[in-house]
């Protein structure tokens, strides 16, 4: 992909993934998706 992502937004995405890693991996493997809580 081409383009850029603002550093603050990139940091927020990384934080979200870190906090929800287990749930994201489970959804990836099972293809059963659920809503995750937003960052505080």
pLDDT (0 to 100) of residue 34: 96
pLDDT (0 to 100) of residue 1: 60
The model's pTM: 0.78
Give the separation between CA 20 and CA 38, rounded to whole angstroms. Answer: 10
- Low-confidence stretches of the chain (pLDDT < 70) are 1
**Alpha helix locations (H) across 1-40?**
7-19, 21-30
pLDDT (0 to 100) of residue 7: 92
Give just the sign of the alpha carbon dihedral 25, 34, 39, 11: positive
pLDDT (0 to 100) of residue 3: 80
SS3 label, residue 36: coil
């Amino acid at each position: 992909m081409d383009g850029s992502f603002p550093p603050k937004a990139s940091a927020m995405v990384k934080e979200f993934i870190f906090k929800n890693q287990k749930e994201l991996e489970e959804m990836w493997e099972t293809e059963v998706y659920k809503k995750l809580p937003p960052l505080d």
